[in-house]
Amino acid sequence: MSWSRRTRHHLSSPLGIVTAGLLLLLLVTAILAPPLLGDRADEIVVGSLQSGSSAEHPFGTDALGRDVFTRTLVATRMSLVLALLVVAIGVVAGLIIGAVPIVLGKRAGRVVVAGLNLMVAFPGLLLALFLAMIFGVGARGAVLSMSIAFAPSFARLTHTTASGIANADYVSAARLLGVSRWRILTRHVIPNISEPLIVNMTSQVGAALLSISALSYLGFGVQPPSYDWGRMLSDGLPAIYTNPAAALAPCITIVVAGLTFVLAGELLTQILGGHHHGHLRMPSRLSRRQGPEAAAPTRSADDGDEVLRLDGLTVTMPGETTPFSPVTDVSLRIRPGEIVGLVGESGSGKSLTAMAAARLISYPGLAEADVHRIKGQELRLMRSRDRERLLGTSLAMVFQDPMSSLNPTLKVGRQLAEVAETHEGLGRRDAWQRAVDRLSAVLISSPEVRAKQYPMEFSGGMRQRASIAMGLMAQPALIIADEPTTALDVTVQREVLNLLQRISEQTAAAVLLISHDIAVVAETASRVLVMYAGRVVEELPVSGLVTDAAHPYTRALVASIPDMSTDRSQPLASIPGRPPHTAQLPAGCAFAPRCGYADDQCLEHRPELVDSGRGGAVACWHPLLPAGRAPQGMAGPASVPASARRVAAEGEV
Amino acid sequence: MRSSFRARHPWLVFLTRRLGRFVVSMAVVVTAAFAMVHALPGDPVRAALGLRASPETIRATREQLGLDDPLWLQYVDYVRGLLHLDLGISLDSQTPVREVMAQLVPATVKLGLAAFVVCIVIAIPVGLLIGIATRDGRGRTVHLGFGGLTGLALSVPDYLLSVGLVFVFSVSLGALPVAGMTGAASFVLPVIALVVGPGAYLARIVRAETQGVLSEDYIRTARAKRLPARVVYLRHALPNTLTPTLTVCGMILASMLAGTVLVESVFAWPGIGAELVDSVLVKDYPMVQAVALFFGAGILLINLVVDVAIAAFDPRSTIKES
C-alpha cells in the first residue's frame, strides 16, 4: 500500500475518525473559545456562588460565581499551549543531549548515557516539583520545570534509536569514507530517527498535558487570574460537595484531551509503520470426515501391532482468503523397532505431519485424521486424561533446535524428572534418580553434576542428548525426531543418530525421523517416505533408494547426495525451481512444473499414491523404472537437469 | 588474571560493581539536593521568610543555616550532618526536619506498600491469564477488550481518578472517608487511585511476555511431555517472564512514590508527598532537601534491589556480566 493510500485507509478506520474528530474539536475550541467566550467566562453572576448545574449554567458556577462550562472551554487554549510548549522544549533539549554521544564520541557519550539513565529512573513529576522550586511558581516556571523533566526520556529515546542507526552498515561505511560526525548526524541519523520521535512526541503531548495540569492543580502552574484546566480543578475541588461539576468538568476535559493525543500517536504508528491487520480465515472442522475407521486402508494389510497408525491425516491452517492444507491425506504406519524416515524440502509438510502424529498441532491449525492410533489405541476415542498419559509415557519428541527446546530457567535434571513425576507418580527423589540414570544412558559424563546444571551450561550435542534422555524417562514405543541433527555440527550429528539407532535396537522403540537431508535418512532408517507439497509422493525401503526410486522427485533427491564417486570439480546436484506453496497448488501433480518428465496429464490430473510393485508406493503418472532401464518412451533419470547442482532443501533451518 | 577472577567470583564482582554504582548515584543525588538551594534565585532565606521578616531574623537564620560560610565548608557540613541523620531545621515550622520526616514517612510508606502489594497481587495473575487466553493469536475479542480497558486505565492519571473516586464513593454514596488517614477504610480510595494506572501497565507487560513465552520452543517441549496445563504455565512459562516483570515492578514502585505526591494532596494524606508540595510552595528548602533525599534514595534502592533480584533468580541473566 502506498503511503497516502495507507493514510486514507487508517483515517477512515473507526480509530482514525474518532481521533481526527477529537483533534479537530480541541483545535477549534482552543482557537475560537478565548475570543468568543473570554468575556463571558470572567463575568460574575451575582448571587449564585458555587451553585450546582442549571439550565443557564450546565456545570454550575465557581467560588466567584463564574460559569464553569464557559471557563472550561476558554481554558482549552492555555492548557494545550502549555503542553505543546513543554514537549517542544523537551524534544529540542532531548535531541541535543541525545545526540551528544554520537557527535562527541564514545567517552563523553558514556558519561551522558550514565547521567540519562540516572535521570530517567526518577519520575518526571518529582523532578519537575524540585525544579519548580528553582524556577518559581507560574506558567513559565511550570513549563520550564516540566520540559526539563521530560527531556531525559526524549534524550534516551534519541540515543537508543540513533545508536542503532549509528552502528548500521551504511553509517560505518560513511565513517570509513571520512564523512564528519556532524554530517553523519544530519544526513544519516536524524532523518532515520525522526519517525519514532514524531510518534513518541505526539503521545507525549498527552502526557505533558496531564503533567502540566497536575502542576497547575498543585498550585505551581498558572496563577490567577489566568487559568487552565489544572487550576480550575484545584479551585473546584474544595467545593466538590456543593458543586461537583466544577471539579469534574476539568477532570473530564483533561482525560479526553490526553486520550486524544495518545490515540493520535497510535494512529501515526499505524500509518508510518504500515500495520495492516488482515483477517485470516480460520479453518473449521471439515464435514468430509465420516467418523472414525470409516475410510478403508489404502495399502498393506492391517497388521495390528503398529506403534503408530495414521490414516488420511489432513492439517488445515488459516489463510488470507481461505483456509489451506499444508498436509493432505497422509498415512503412516510404523512397527516396533522400525526407523522410518520422512524427507522433503522445507514447506513440504513433514514437520507438521510429525507434530500432528504427536497431537501437537496448536491453534489456529487443525489436524484431522480418519485413524490415529498409538500402540493400537484410537486416540480420538480416548478420554483426554488417558490419552495424555498414553502419549506422555509411550511417545517421545526430539525437536530440531536443542538451544531453544529446553527451558532455560529450569535445571536439566528437573526437566527430565518432571516427566516421571507427572505420568508415573514418582516421588521427587526417585524421579531425580531416574533422570540421572537416563542422562548417563545417553552417554553424558558425570550425570549427577550435569543434572543440576541449566541448559545454557550444556553444549548443543549434549542438549540434544538430554532431549533424547527426556524422552526415555518413560518407556517410549515411538520417538518422533523432527530434524534432530539439523542444528548440530557434523561430528555431533553422527553421535545423535547413532544414539537413536542404539536406543531403537535396545528398547524396540520405533523412530520417526524427519529430515530434509535424504543422506541422514538413508544412513539411519529402514524405510523412507518422501513428501512433496503436503502429500506423500513415494514410500520405499531404504535398500531400494538408489536403484528402485520410481518418483522423479525421489531420484532427484538421491542424485543430490554426494558420495566418494561424486566428481568434486562439479557443483552438487539440485532440483531447479521451488516447491509450490500449499495455499496455491496446481491442479495436477504438484511436482510437474519442476519435473523433466511432465506432460499434459501431469499438469491436469493429480496422481494417487499406488503400489509401486517394489515394496513401496508412488504417486506418479510416469514412474521411473529401476535404475539402468529407461522409462516408457522417456529419457533416463540422467535427464533430470544436473547442471545447477545443490540440494535445494539444504538451507532449511 | 582479571578475567579469571571475574569468572570465579561473578557474584562478588557484580555486587561490588552494582553497589559502587549505587553509591555514586547516591552521591549525585546528595550533591544535587545541596546544589538546588544554591541554584535558587536571590536569597533563599529571604524567599522563605518573606519580605516582612526583619533583617535581624534573616541574619540569624542565615547564620543558623551556615549560608555565610564558604561553599565547600557548607557542603562538608551538609554531608557530615547527613551522616549523623541531621537534616537541619524546617524554615516553616522551626522544628528539626528529622522529626517532621519521622512523622510523615510511615504514612507514605504504608500507602505506597499497600498499593504496590495490591497492584502485584491483581495485575500479575490477570496478565498471566489473559496471556494464556490470547496465546498463539487466540481470543481476539479478549485481547481487544483487555487492550481497551487497560488503555483507558492508563490514560486516566491518578490525581484525576482520585477526584472521580471521591465524587462517586465519598460525595455521592457517602461510603468511604473523603480525606485523611483514619483506619483501613481510608486506604481504599487512595490505594485504588495509585493502583489503576501502574496495574494496567504491569498487566499489559505480563500479558505480552506470557504470550511471547508461550510461543517458545521449550513450551512446545513441555506440551510434548504432556505436562498438566498448570505445570506448563506456572513452572515453564511464568519464570521466563520474571526478568521483565521484575524490571517493571521496580518502575511501578518508583512511579507510585511519585504518585503519592498528587494522591496525598487530593486525599489530604498526612504523608511526605503532600508535605513536599507545601514545602516547595513556601520554599522551606531544608524540608525539600530531605524529601528529595528520601525519594532519591528510595528509587535508587528499588533499582538496586531489582537488579540483584534479577541476577539471583534468573539463571539466564546477563546482568552480572554487564
Check if A15 contacts B (Cβ < 8 Å): no
* B28 to A118: CB separation less than 8 angstroms, yes or no: yes
* A220 to B281: CB separation less than 8 angstroms, yes or no: yes
User: Which chain A residues are within 8 Å of B254, Cβ to Cβ?
Assistant: 121-123
Cα A620 to Cα A556: distance, rounded to the nearest angstrom: 14
Q: DSSP code of B236?
A: I
Q: In the CATH scheme, what is the homologous superfamily, with its name and number, of domain A308-525?
A: P-loop containing nucleotide triphosphate hydrolases (3.40.50.300)
Chain A / chain B CB contacts < 8 angstroms = 165
Cα A271 to Cα A252: distance, rounded to the nearest angstrom: 28
**What are the residue boundaries of the structural domains of chain A, listed by start?**
3-273, 308-525, 549-652
Least confident range of A183-192, A283-292, B182-191:
A283-292
* A134 to B36: CB separation less than 8 angstroms, yes or no: yes
Nearest to A499 by CA among A425, A424, A444, A571: A444
Three-state helix/strand/coil letters over A282-328: CCCCCCCCCCCCCCCCCCCCCCCCCCEEEEEEEEEECECCCCEEEEE
- Residue A146 C-beta-side C-alpha neighbours within 13 Å: 28
What integer pLDDT is reported at residue A86 of this predicted model?
94
* A419 to B225: CB separation less than 8 angstroms, yes or no: yes
* B151 to A137: CB separation less than 8 angstroms, yes or no: no
- Across the range A363-383, mean pLDDT stands at 90
Is 70 exceeded by the pLDDT of residue A1?
Answer: no
* A244 to B299: CB separation less than 8 angstroms, yes or no: no
* B266 to A237: CB separation less than 8 angstroms, yes or no: yes
Nearest to A116 by CA among A166, A155, A63: A155
Check if B261 contacts A (Cβ < 8 Å): yes
Compare CB distances from A409 to B151, B240, B280 and report the shortest one's residue.
B240
Q: How far is CA A314 from CA A311, A352, B252, in A?
A: 9, 10, 48
Of B39 and A311, the structure prediction assigns the larger pLDDT to A311
Check if A130 contacts B (Cβ < 8 Å): yes
Q: What is the ipTM of this complex?
A: 0.85
* A125 to B261: CB separation less than 8 angstroms, yes or no: yes
Check if A287 contacts B (Cβ < 8 Å): no
From chain A residues 351-370, the ones with a CB under 8 A of any chain B CB are 358, 360, 362-364
Check if A238 contacts B (Cβ < 8 Å): no
- Across the range B234-252, mean pLDDT stands at 90
User: Which chain B residues are within 8 Å of A248, Cβ to Cβ?
Assistant: 163-164, 167
Is 60 exceeded by the pLDDT of residue A289?
Answer: no
What would the CATH number be for the domain defined by A3-273? 1.10.3720.10
Nearest to A193 by CA among A166, A224, A220, A227: A166
- Across the range A277-297, mean pLDDT stands at 50
Check if B228 contacts A (Cβ < 8 Å): yes
Is 50 exceeded by the pLDDT of residue B154?
Answer: yes
What's the mean per-residue pLDDT of chain A? 83
pLDDT-derived band of residue B9, with 50, 70 and 90 as boundaries?
Answer: confident
- Which strand (E) or helix (H) includes residue A7? helix A3-11
Check if B35 contacts A (Cβ < 8 Å): no
- Across the range A504-509, mean pLDDT stands at 92
Interval B74-129: pLDDT, tens: 889 889 988 888 888 888 888 899 999 999 999 999 999 999 999 999 999 999 99
User: Which chain B residues are within 8 Å of A126, Cβ to Cβ?
Assistant: 257-258, 261, 295
CB under 8 Å to B140, separation ≥6 — which residues?
none
In contact, B58 and B49? CB cutoff 8 Å = yes
Cα B189 to Cα B171: distance, rounded to the nearest angstrom: 12
From chain A residues 59-118, the ones with a CB under 8 A of any chain B CB are 118
Site from B22, B108, B134, B159 to mutate, A interface, most A CB atoms within 10 angstroms: B159
Site from B24, B163, B230, B253 to mutate, A interface, most A CB atoms within 10 angstroms: B163
User: Which chain B residues are within 8 Å of A487, Cβ to Cβ?
Assistant: none
What's the mean per-residue pLDDT of chain B? 87
Nearest CA-CA distance, residue B90 and chain A, Å: 16
Site from B26, B225, B322 to mutate, A interface, most A CB atoms within 10 angstroms: B225
Check if B28 contacts A (Cβ < 8 Å): yes
Radius of gyration of chain A (CA): 35
